[in-house]
Structure 1
Amino acid sequence: MEELGSDAGANGATPRPRLEDVAARVGLSTASVSLVLRGVPGPSERTRQRVLKAAAELGYRPDRTASALASRRSRLLGVMIDVHSAFQAELVEHLYTAAEEVGYDLVLSTQTRTRDESTAVETLLAFRCEALILLGPVAPASVLAELDRRAPVISVGRRITGADLDVVRSADDDGVGRIVDHLVGLGHRAIAHVDGGKGVIATDRRRGYRSAMRRHGLDDRIRILHGDHTEEAGEGAGRRLIESGDLPTAVVAFNDRSAIGLLTALRGAGVDVPGTVSVVGYDDDTLSRLGCFDLTTVSQEAEEQARRAVVAAVERLDQGRVTPREIVLAPSLVVRGTTARPR
C-alpha cells in the first residue's frame, strides 16, 4: 500500500490528495487503488481506468520516497546517457514508456566532456537505483562485471566479451554490411568509411565494412579514415577527402552525427550529395530524418532495444533470473535522399 506524505503543504497550503481520497471517489478499498497506481496485475481494465481518472481529477501523486522507505525498494532504474547523442535521447524516451508499464521509473545520469562514465554510474547508485541500464558503455568488461555485483547491469548497444552480463544490441557488423550492399547495388565501387575510433562498437562497424567490401571483391578499394562519434570528426574527415583530390563516390560514416558533419564539409565545398558523393550514416536518430539532411542510414530499432533492456532488468530484479543473456536485434537499412547511383 502507498505510504502517505503530509496531509497539508507548508504554511497552510491546500491539503495534498491522499490515497484514501482516490479510493473514496471510486468506492474501492485503498488496497485495490494502490494496486492500480503501482501497475500491479489483478484489477480489471475498467477498474484501472476509473482509478486513473479519479487520481487525475484529484491531482493525486504517489509519495515515492515514503513508498520506497516502506518497501525497502526504490523501483528505480538508473540510465547512463551521453548528453550529446540524439540516438540515446530517443532510447531514453522509449525506456520511460517501457519502465512505466511495469511500475518502474528512471533516474538519468549523463556523460559530458567533463563528466566521465564512472562518475555518472556512481551517481545512479547513490540514488539507490536497483539496476543500471548503460547506453553504449566504454568501460572494460572487467569493470562492468564488478559493477554488476553491486547492481544488475544491462549494456545497451555494445557487445561484451570476457564478462557474463546482460546485453541488448543490434548486429553492427551486419548493419554496415547492408549499407555496403546497398551502395554496391547502386553501382558504387569507390566506397570509403569514416570510422568511430576506439571501442567495441567502432570495431564491429569497421569489421562489417571490411568484410562487405571483400565479399564484393573490392579488397583493393578499402579506404578507412580516422574519426569518432562527433559531427566535428565527420567534418574533418570530409575536409581531408576534399583536400586529397581523390573523392570516393560514396562514404559510410560511423554514425549519423559523423555523417552530418561529413555532409556539412562536402556541401560547404560545393560537392553535390548524392550526385557526386553518396553519404550514409548509422542510428536513424531524429536529426537524420529532418528534411535538411534526409540521411540514408541504418535503424537500430530503438524502441525494441529499450523494451528488451527494461525486460532484462525486471527479470533480474523481480523474477530472480541469474543467467545473463545477449539479445541481438537485426538492424534495417533506411534509404533516404543522400544515396544515388554514381555518375
Structure 2
Amino acid sequence: MADVAAEAGVSRALVSIVFRGRPGASQETRDRVLRVAAEIGYRPDNAARLLARGHSRTLGVMCTLHQPFQADLVESLYPQAERHGYDVLLSANAPGRDEAKSIEALISHRCEALILLGASSDTADLDALGHRTATVSVGRRVPGARVDSVHSAESKGVRQAMDHLAELGHRRIVHIDGGRQSGSVERRRAYRAAMRRHGLAEGIRVIPGAHDEGAGIEAGRLLLAERDRGEPLPTAILAGNDRCAMGVLMAFARAGVDVPGEVSVVGYDDSHLSHVMPVGLTTVRQDPVLMAEHAVRFAVERLAAGDREPREAVIDPKLVVRGTSGPPREE
C-alpha cells in the first residue's frame, strides 16, 4: 500500500480508504489509485486484513485425495461456505502425512473451524481437538467427544441394500468391510442384523477389507481361489464402499466372472465414479450436498456459540439400483 501511495502521490490512509470502498476520496483519486495498483501488480491481502481483525473467515477441511465421495463432499462444501461468508482451505491425508499432520496444518493456517471428512483418529484425540477449536466430523459419529457430526443413517442404507438382494432371491451374501474407516462398524453391524432378519444367520460372512480398490481386488481373489478349490462363489457381495466394490468388479472381470449373472455386487456412497462405468454400480447413495450444508452450518454456529452441546445430523440414504445387481443364477 505504501508503494501504491508513493506512486499515486497520495497518503497510505487514502489508499486504504479506496481499497475498502469507504467515502473520503474523489472519483479521480480512486481511479488513479486503482490504475497505479494495477500497473505495479498490487492486490489487497484480504487474509491479512481479516487476521488483523482477529478472524480468518476460513474453514479448514481435512480430506483423503483418493476417496471419490470425499471429492464430491469438497465440491459441495465450497458453495455452502461461501454462502456463509467463509473460504475453504484443504489439507489432505497422504502416505507419510497422517491425520494429525493434516489437522495441525489447518490450525497453523489459522482456520477458524475444522471439518474432518472420514476421520479415523481416536475419540480421545477428537475430543481434545474439539476443545481446541470448533470441529465437525463428516461420515463418522463420535459419541463422547466435543465434536459435531454429520453422517448418513448407515444401518438404514445397508438394510435397503440387503432387502434388495434378498428380494431378488440371494441367500449367499458376503460383506467386505472397511476396517477402521468411517462408517465401517455400523455397516458391518447392519449387515449381520439384516442376514439374521432374513433367516440367513448361518451364512453370515465378513471379509476384512478397507475403503479402496486394493481391498476389493484381494477379497475377489480370495473368493476366486475358494471357487477353484470347489467352494461356490457367493451369489451377492455387499462392499464397504464404492471403491471396494470397483476392486471386486476388476478382479471378477479379469477372471471372466459375469456380474450380475453369477455374482451381484453392491457398493456404498454413490460417488461420481459409480455411474460412469460401462456397467453402472448398484449402490447406496449418500447426499453430499445435504451433508455439506449441515457441516458448514454446524461449524459456523459453533463459532458463534462455542459452549453448545455437540449436535448430530443423520442424513437418509437411498438405494440406487443399476446394472451390477440381479437375480441369482439358478443352480
Residue 282 of structure 1 aligns to a residue whose secondary structure is strand
In the TM superposition, 1:259-278 aligns within 5 A as 259-278=245-264
Q: Offset at 1:268?
A: 0.9
Encode CA deviations 1:80-128: one digit per residue, 9 max, x unaligned: 0011111101100100110001100011100012210000000000000
Partner of 2:31: none
Partner of 2:221: 239
Residue 269 of structure 2 aligns to a residue whose secondary structure is coil
Encode CA deviations 1:143-176: one digit per residue, 9 max, x unaligned: 1111111111100000112223201111112211
Structure 1: which amino acid aligns with 2:282?
T
| Correspondence 1:146 to 2:132 | no
Structure 2: which amino acid aligns with 1:91?
L
Partner of 2:68: 86
CA distance in 2, matches of 1:21, 1:320: 33
CA contact 2:151–2:313 (8 Å) conserved in 1: yes
Partner of 2:309: 323
In the TM superposition, 1:34-49 aligns within 5 A as none
CA contact 2:130–2:146 (8 Å) conserved in 1: no
In the TM superposition, 1:162-241 aligns within 5 A as 162-199=144-181, 201-241=183-223
Residue 281 of structure 1 aligns to a residue whose secondary structure is strand
Normalised to the residue count of structure 1, the TM-score between the two structures is 0.82
| Correspondence 1:258 to 2:244 | yes
CA contact 1:7–1:18 (8 Å) conserved in 2: no
Q: Offset at 1:18?
A: 8.3
Q: Offset at 1:203?
A: 1.0
Q: 1:30 to 1:262 in 2, by over 3 A?
A: farther
Q: 1:318 to 1:161 in 2, by over 3 A?
A: closer
Structure 2: which amino acid aligns with 1:212?
A
| Correspondence 1:303 to 2:289 | yes
Q: 1:178 to 1:6 in 2, by over 3 A?
A: farther
CA RMSD in angstroms comes to 2.4
Paired residues in the alignment total: 302
CA contact 1:250–1:278 (8 Å) conserved in 2: yes
CA distance in 2, matches of 1:86, 1:272: 25
Q: Offset at 1:62?
A: 5.7
Q: 1:313 aligns with which of 299, 311, 314?
A: 299
Q: 1:61 to 1:274 in 2, by over 3 A?
A: farther
Residue 337 of structure 1 aligns to a residue whose secondary structure is coil
Q: Offset at 1:199?
A: 4.6
CA contact 1:5–1:63 (8 Å) conserved in 2: no
Q: Structure 2: any 5+ residue segments left out of the alignment?
A: 8-14, 25-40
CA distance in 1, matches of 2:328, 2:238: 15
CA distance in 2, matches of 1:173, 1:131: 29
CA distance in 2, matches of 1:236, 1:116: 24
Encode CA deviations 1:203-252: one digit per residue, 9 max, x unaligned: 11100100111111110111111111110110010011111112011100
Partner of 1:132: 114
Q: Whose Rg is larger?
A: 2
Structure 2: which amino acid aligns with 1:170?
S
Q: Identity of aligned pairs, percent? A: 50
CA contact 2:134–2:306 (8 Å) conserved in 1: no
Normalised to the residue count of structure 2, the TM-score between the two structures is 0.85
Q: 1:164 to 1:188 in 2, by over 3 A?
A: same
